[in-house]
Amino acid sequence: MYNPQYTEIRDLVSKFTDTEVAPLAAKIDHDGVIPQDLINKLYENGFMGSYIPEEFGGAGMDYTSYAIIVEEISRGCASTGVLISAHTSLCMWPILSFGTTEQKQKFLPGLASGGVIGCFCLSEPNAGSDPGTLATFAEDKGDYYELSGTKNFITNGKDAGIAIVLAKTTKTNDHKGITAFIVDTKTEGFQVQKLEDKLGIKGSTTAQIWLNKVKVPKANILGEVGKGFKVALSTLDGGRIGIAAQALGIAEAAFRYAKKYSKERVQFGKPISELQAIQFKLADMSTEIAASRLLIMHASYLKDNGLPYSKEAAQAKLFASEACMRITTQAIQVLGGNGYTKEYPCERHFRDAKITEIYEGTSEIQRIVIAANELKGV
């Protein structure tokens, strides 16, 4: 898996992160905004359209390269990492995988290299882990559908130009009848109602969206009518690899800082890195980071080669996100009182880590997915 191609990509993105992203991370966290200049540079370097084919304006890489990009960018700034992840895997991937040729030609170039940001609108006030209870309804009006409802916790929601929206086209109490739509957010009735004030990833906008009779042409149906649940599940499978990579990047950042600090901090007449209690913490962090990376690379490899990867993506997200929480917690412990202050970055890494156990499927949902795959056919 670690062939020269991936080493070159990692080196390239790592240098970009160290010079362009990491120096801005504290300000992004404080201000709650990712600078437009940085977003422009993400597009210029192909990071916003990594695995999109060149014919559709992308960089023509593969999913493993995308995971490396998200990991390295997240190491510098988790908010910027999830901007890329949600945009690439939740908005562009379903268009690439389920869209018609006309839809790909119309929407992907702008998203991949034209500065148009994408989002994915699935969750609702009463439909989070259970998408079968969606209340957003799409009424057939002949040449178009009219969408009405509320979407919650939409990453990139404030800034998106294109949204993948899941809505019921038949009124049922389960996942049947869900349809996916490609929606231009400038359409009348598409309204950002509020922005969430969050614990972490504060530079990433998380919005509540109101859909008030939003007219969507039938040409913008993604996949088949009534088959949107398949689109959603497939999209989330791939998205989980991206969130696992984000968690890994956060963990790596916390670990590197804790290791550096331990060599500089002197107590009892010697650097605390010489204390076995600290060494054991660093050893555990290092091991969990290595295991997370292997799980992510394995899931990405399967996806790139057209093999089943739902279980492996869930395993990668489950382990990497929970490891990230443990690692950022221990990083603060290594820094002691300093770790609890905003003068040092570990408290930001700790706050950014928690969401990786929640969005794109909670840890509990990942365990359900893994168990269901293991018990299949038993």
For 104-137, the pLDDT digits (tens) are 999 999 999 999 999 999 999 988 888 778 999 9
Q: Cα Rg for the chain, rounded, in angstroms?
A: 21
pLDDT in tens, 279-318: 999 999 999 999 999 999 999 999 999 999 999 999 999 9
Q: Write the burial class of residue 103 (CB in 10 Å: 0-12 exposed, 13-18 middle, 19+ buried).
A: middle
Residues 370 and 251 in one domain: yes
| CATH number of the structural domain spanning residue 139 | 2.40.110.10
Q: What is the pTM of this model?
A: 0.96
- For 350-363, what is the mean pLDDT? 97
For the chain, the average pLDDT equals 96
Tally Cβ neighbours within 10 Å of residue 234: 16
In this structure, the answer to whether residues 257 and 351 fall within a common structural domain is yes
Residue for token pair 């890329």: 84
Identify the domain boundary among 90, 117, 144: 117
Query: pLDDT value at position 378?
Result: 61
| Claim to verify: residue 188 and residue 275 sit in the same structural domain | no
Same domain, 282 and 343: yes
Residue at token pair 């670690």: 2
Do 234 and 371 belong together in one domain?
yes
Sign of CA dihedral 263, 268, 274, 277: negative
Cβ 334 vs Cβ 262: under 8 Å: yes
pLDDT at res. 195: 97
The count of residues in the chain is 378
**CB neighbours of residue 45 within 10 Å:** 15
Nearest to 42 by CA among 109, 115, 104, 92: 115
360 among known catalytic residues: yes
Structural domains in the chain (count): 3
**pLDDT at residue 131, as a whole number:** 79
Q: Of the residues 196, 226, 256, which one is the last residue of a structural domain?
A: 226
CA distances from 30 to 146, 197, 340 (A): 39, 12, 16
CATH number for the domain including 304?
1.20.140.10
> Are 325 and 288 contained in the same domain?
yes
Task: Show which of 89, 117, 145 is a domain's final residue.
Answer: 117
Please indicate whether residue 1 or residue 51 has the higher confidence score (pLDDT): 51
Domain co-membership, 63 together with 93: yes
**Residue 1 above 60 pLDDT?**
no
For residue 13, the enclosing domain spans 4-117
Catalytic site residue from 72, 312, 322, 360: 360
The alpha helices in the chain, defined as continuous H runs, are: 4-16, 25-31, 36-44, 63-76, 78-85, 93-98, 101-113, 228-264, 276-304, 310-335, 346-354, 363-375
As to burial, measured by CB atoms within 10 angstroms (0-12 exposed, 13-18 middle, 19+ buried), residue 171 is exposed
Instruction: Provide the 8-state DSSP code for 355.
Output: G
- 235 and 342 fall within a common domain: yes
Averaged pLDDT for residues 47-58: 98
Does residue 213 share a domain with residue 82?
no
Q: Are residues 113 and 142 in the same domain?
A: no
Contacts of 4 (CB under 8 A, 6+ apart): none
What average pLDDT score do residues 357-376 get? Answer: 96
Confidence of residue 2 (pLDDT cuts 50, 70, 90): low
pLDDT of residue 143: 94
Q: What is the mean pLDDT of residues 236-248?
A: 97
Measured CA to CA, the distance from residue 313 to residue 320 in angstroms comes to: 10
Residue 187 and residue 59 in one domain: no
Same domain, 171 and 220: yes
Residue 259: the pLDDT is 98
Cα 232 to Cα 230: distance, rounded to the nearest angstrom: 5
CATH number at residue 72: 1.10.540.10
